[in-house]
Amino acid sequence: MADLLDVKNLSVSVEEKAILDAINLTINKGETHVLMGPNGAGKSTLGNAIMGNPRYTITGGNLFFNGENITAEPVDKRAKRGIFLSFQNPLEVPGVSLGNFIRSAMEERFGKRIRLWDFRKELKASMDILGMDHSYAERDLNVGFSGGEKKKAEILQLLMLKPELAILDETDSGLDVDAVRTVSEGIKAYQKNMDGALLIITHSTRILEALNVDKTHVIINGRIKATGDGSLVNKINDEGFESFLEG
Amino acid sequence: MAKDRAIVEDIDRSLYDFRYEEKEGEFYKIKEGLTEDIVLEISEKKNDPEWMRDFRLKSLEIYHKAEMPNWGPDISGLNVDNIVTYVKPNTEMSQTWEEVPEDIKNTFEKLGIPEAERKSLAGVGAQYDSELVYHNLQEEVARQGVIYTDIESALHGPYGKMIEEHFMKLVPPTDHKFAALHGAVWSGGSFVYVPKGVNVEIPLQSYFRLNAKGAGQFEHTLIIVDEGAQLHFIEGCSAPKYNVANLHAGCVELFVGKNAKLRYSTIENWSKNMYNLNTKRAKVEENGIMEWVSGSFGSHVSYLYPMTILKGDNARSQFTGVTFAGKGQNLDTGAKMVHIGKDTSSFINTRSISKGGGISTYRSAVVIQNQAKNAKSAVSCQSLMLDDESRSDTVPAIDVRTNKADVGHEAKIGRISDDAVFYLMSRGISEEEAKSLIVSGFADSVSKELPLEYAVEMNNLIRLEMVGAIG
């Protein structure tokens, strides 16, 4: 099977401080990977580095997407290739409506004009999966959205942009049980209907309950300490990260 | 991709130094500065009525006595000793298309302004469709009894008396040096009279009128909206207006009658060598409503603070403004609200953007006089700086002389957030586009007040200004 994402010996620092140390990770098309680890281990850093956040400096190693080296590529180019990052704290952008924004982004992603009629139909269908009121499309991007609404708006963008790889950075944090369930529905739709690959960053396991997990990675102090199948999630659930800390 | 726009940093003096072209006699006049003879020459050319000629001469006297403003942005680049070079009749028409700066030509092109129109906007003087549009507009409103014409013609018609009663009564020549200059040398502009109870449904656009007449340096706008009448007047245009003589000292006087409503929208986009010292003022009677929508782009230096005098009880005014100061620009803009009547209310809502070392200053004053019981005023001003070299200042003044008033002020100054740019880019949007979106979004509460085609043009302008903001 062809590799979708290849992270090779990737080291990353933030403001001169080394965070990730020689990370290796391969995600194949359609696979779901989970990245777990205690706070400050470098989970979000890996997500941001894959997306190309200029705040994060790559000090060593390479990133390959569909076999092409994207290590030096700007964020927007990566997005067009089909990489998506769901933000932990999505930013508020006044004066830009959620609907218009998604449509502009789709036009960039697919390199063609999206007809308004088709767009509206698809948007409504996706909003329904997430139980979002259609009026949100007219509201300014994330402005005045509650924590849960912001996360839903992120998953809405995921469904509309149909990336090949979606990185979900703590998408479940701060959500109540119902909201986690709804967001999971959206993620499941992406997984099934679009055969999308996922890298789910989380330190809880609630969001994973309804999803099939192919691989689980445990990251501690900027290094991948263990990789296993979906059952590793249960182990962490029962025992925490303690057993990975020594050594 | 650093593609900075060309800016006019120093004004090429050869463009308005007429010594080599003019006869010796005139050379001496120039050295003396602005004289009575020159003002009389203008007056004669305009075929002024006697009172107007006297008014010009009186203004000239005041001009000579008045001091230059000792606050605000530096205007020492203005050649005040040789002020005559700015006001000499017909100087603005004497240039050729070749002399028009390249950045202005480019902007015309990017905004999709037709060839003939470009030449007219650049002051080269061209005849085109504007004449016709203006004529049609005039005919349409005339059916409702509305007068819409240039001031010169109106002075000699049945409304001559009305003009005499209102001309520079709100902005007297004694107001400041450039008001006095305006009084002495004003030329061109618009006169609108909306009779009692008439609701003018189509917005009147001076753009067509100014283009048709080729005016626009010391133009005077006088609008009188009589009791219960309504009007939307749109002044200016989003394309840069270029003048060789780089001083603009226009004057706008707006009279809003009892129960009347006036909306005055304007986009000023002068070429980047311009000193824009414009004075705008409105007086609102009982229950009247005055709405300002103002976009300030372009110019080298601007002083612009439209003022509303809320004279009648329950009079209301709203000012919505956006200012964009780029490289080499110092734009000092804001608004002034004076509450006199009881239960009057005002709202000032502004956005200013600075980039590339541009300076944007928000300056406002809210004055609530003793008799203005239960007056309400709210101010919200927000500034966005796009880089570390740009500057934004806020200078709000509030003067309340009654204890029965409700006054609020909110100011925010910030920078464009890298995280927001990253967020938008992570959805496939380019850096330039992401920044444009953020800036347009920031100005959105203002642009949505503009007529649609102007809002579109303003967003295009922001986009144009943002080219070169990255790098």
Comparing CA positions, the residue from B235, B205, B207, B405 lying closest to residue B304 is B235
Q: What is the pLDDT of residue B207?
A: 63
| Best mutation target, B421, B423, B433, B458, to test chain A (most A CBs within 10 A) | B423
| Best mutation target, A76, A96, A156, A158, to test chain B (most B CBs within 10 A) | A76
Looking at beta carbons, which residues of chain B come within 8 Å of A93?
Answer: 420, 423-424, 437-438, 441
Q: What is the pLDDT of residue B87?
A: 63
Q: What is the pLDDT of residue B241?
A: 65
Q: Which residue has the higher pLDDT, B334 or B238?
A: B334
Q: What is the pLDDT of residue B6?
A: 39
Comparing CA positions, the residue from B261, B170, B156, B267 lying closest to residue B210 is B267
Average the pLDDT over A211-235 and give the result. 90
CA angle B154, B303, B372 (to 5 degrees): 80
Q: What is the DSSP-derived secondary structure letter of residue A8?
A: E
What's the number of CA atoms in the CB half-sphere (13 Å) around residue A127? 18
The alpha carbon of residue B350 is apart from the nearest alpha carbon of chain A, in Å, by 14
Q: Quick one: what percent of chain B has pLDDT higher than 70?
A: 77
Looking at beta carbons, which residues of chain B come within 8 Å of A74?
Answer: 425, 431
- Would the pLDDT of B170 be above 90? yes
- Would the pLDDT of B128 be above 70? no
Helices assigned H by DSSP within B365-430: 418-425
Q: How many helices (H) and strands (E) does chain B have?
A: 15, 20
Lowest mean pLDDT among B8-22, B233-247, B252-266: B8-22
A198, A187 Cβ separation under 8 angstroms:
yes
Q: What is the pLDDT of residue A189?
A: 93
Confidence of residue B431 (pLDDT cuts 50, 70, 90): very high
Q: Which residue has the higher pLDDT, B445 or B228?
A: B228
Average the pLDDT over B239-253 and give the result. 78
Tens of pLDDT, residue by residue over B70-125, are 888 988 888 777 666 666 544 444 456 676 767 667 766 766 666 655 665 555 54
Question: Does B418 sit within 8 Å of A105, measured CB to CB?
Answer: no
B301, B272 Cβ separation under 8 angstroms:
no
Question: Does B428 sit within 8 Å of A108, measured CB to CB?
Answer: yes
Average pLDDT, chain B: 82
B194, B164 Cβ separation under 8 angstroms:
no
* Complex ipTM over 0.85: yes
Q: Which residue has the higher pLDDT, B136 or B306?
A: B306
Average the pLDDT over B159-183 and give the result. 96
The alpha carbon of residue A150 is apart from the nearest alpha carbon of chain B, in Å, by 13
Q: What is the pLDDT of residue B471?
A: 32
Q: What is the pLDDT of residue B91?
A: 42
Confidence of residue B448 (pLDDT cuts 50, 70, 90): confident
Checking phi first, is residue B230 left (phi over 0); if not, alpha (psi -120 to 50) or beta? beta
Tens of pLDDT, residue by residue over B11-33, are 333 333 333 333 434 433 434 57
Q: Reading across the β-sheet that carries B289-298, which strands appear in turn?
A: B204-205, B230-236, B261-270, B289-298, B316-325, B345-354, B375-385, B405-415
Q: What is the pLDDT of residue A81?
A: 96
> Which of A52, A95, A109 is facing B444, going by the closest CB pair?
A95
Residue ranges and CATH numbers for the domains of chain A are 3-177+194-245 (3.40.50.300)
The alpha carbon of residue B420 is apart from the nearest alpha carbon of chain A, in Å, by 6
B190, B148 Cβ separation under 8 angstroms:
yes
d(CA A204, CA A43): 13
- Would the pLDDT of B151 be above 50? yes
B290, B317 Cβ separation under 8 angstroms:
yes
Q: What is the pLDDT of residue B10?
A: 37
Question: Does B441 sit within 8 Å of A96, measured CB to CB?
Answer: yes
Question: Does B419 sit within 8 Å of A91, measured CB to CB?
Answer: yes
Residues of chain A whose C-beta is under 8 A from some C-beta in B? 51-55, 74-76, 78-80, 84-85, 87, 90-91, 93-96, 101, 104-105, 108-109, 140, 157, 161
Could you state, in order of their start, the residue ranges of all structural domains in chain B? Answer: 99-418, 419-471
Tens of pLDDT, residue by residue over B38-68, are 899 889 988 999 999 999 999 999 999 999 8
- Would the pLDDT of B257 be above 60? yes
Q: What is the pLDDT of residue B317?
A: 98
